[in-house]
Amino acid sequence: MSKIHDIKCLHCKQSSEIFASLDSDELERIEVCRVNMHYNAGEIIFKQGSPCYDFVCITTGLVKLFIEGDDDRRLIIGFAKPVDYIFVPGAYVDKRHHFTAVALEETTACLVEADIIQNLVKTNSQFANSFIRKISANSIGLYEQMSSLTHKQIPGRMSDTLIYLSTKVYNSNPFSSNLTRQDLAELSGMTKESAIRVLKTFKDDGIISANANQIEILNMPMLEAISRNG
């Protein structure tokens, strides 16, 4: 992890759309307290349970977000990519992080003091509206994931994971990813062994192709049908 130099907020082309409603004075307030950081793949951006002082906006790279449970169990709850900001609910409640964020690849991010963001929510209604819309979208995504994990069998959960990665995270088919089979399992709420088994079944059935770090969905209608049927 290291601090890097960058351009000022007013001229930045890598900022989240929620900042579009801010005027030059408001952007300058962010600039004064903002720090741009660089993280190598595998570096922790923040840890579950640690103090929460900043909001994080990803400018390059990809970040994995996960909840840590007992016995080293993890549940991946999503990813942050350019130019997402990572909403940290603890900033409004107990000043603690309630999940962990780790860089999946070389990543840069802007860290902005939580107090500044909270003040802008109070004083700029357009910013507050964008902020709440983003939170709401994230919440809906979590509800959909929880519904999949609790109501669907293993094939349906893995189908949801592959569709999500292709259409929401990488926006590509095929897509290259450095996610491990363990990561896919933690995103789908299953064991690594179950993840490997269902991926092999999908591959044998001609639904996907999986070679090294590249996955291609060969039969999207079939994968969507498996998702619907659970």
The CATH number for 158's domain is 1.10.10.10
- Residue 140: inside a domain, yes or no? no
Helix, coil or strand: residue 19: helix
Give the structural domain span for 170.
148-229
Give CA–CA dist 41/83, Å, rounded.
18
Q: How many domains does the chain have?
A: 2
Angle between helices 154-164 and 192-204 (to 10 degrees): 80
DSSP state of 60: E
Instruction: Examine the domain organization and report whether 109 and 172 are in the same domain.
Output: no
- Residue 132: inside a domain, yes or no? no
Instruction: Examine the domain organization and report whether 118 and 153 are in the same domain.
Output: no
Q: Which residue, among 140, 66, 73, has the nearest Cα to 104 in the 3D structure? A: 66
Instruction: Examine the domain organization and report whether 85 and 194 are in the same domain.
Output: no
- Residue 206: inside a domain, yes or no? yes
Check which CATH number belongs to the domain holding 123 and give it.
Answer: 2.60.120.10
- Residue 10: inside a domain, yes or no? yes
What pLDDT score does 225 carry?
A: 96
Instruction: Examine the domain organization and report whether 161 and 104 are in the same domain.
Output: no
Q: Which residue, among 34, 24, 77, 40, has the nearest Cα to 56 in the 3D structure? A: 34
Q: pTM for the complete prediction?
A: 0.86
What pLDDT score does 28 carry?
A: 87
Written as tens digits, the pLDDT of the chain (230 aa) is: 655 555 555 445 456 677 888 888 988 888 888 899 999 999 999 999 999 989 899 999 999 999 999 888 999 999 999 988 888 888 889 999 999 999 999 999 999 998 999 999 999 999 999 989 988 988 898 899 998 899 999 999 999 999 999 999 999 999 999 899 999 999 999 999 999 999 999 999 999 999 888 999 999 999 999 999 97
Instruction: Examine the domain organization and report whether 107 and 193 are in the same domain.
Output: no
Instruction: Examine the domain organization and report whether 117 and 160 are in the same domain.
Output: no
Instruction: Examine the domain organization and report whether 153 and 122 are in the same domain.
Output: no
Instruction: Examine the domain organization and report whether 73 and 157 are in the same domain.
Output: no
What pLDDT score does 29 carry?
A: 86
Instruction: Examine the domain organization and report whether 166 and 89 are in the same domain.
Output: no
Instruction: Examine the domain organization and report whether 118 and 165 are in the same domain.
Output: no
Instruction: Examine the domain organization and report whether 214 and 103 are in the same domain.
Output: no
What pLDDT score does 11 carry?
A: 46
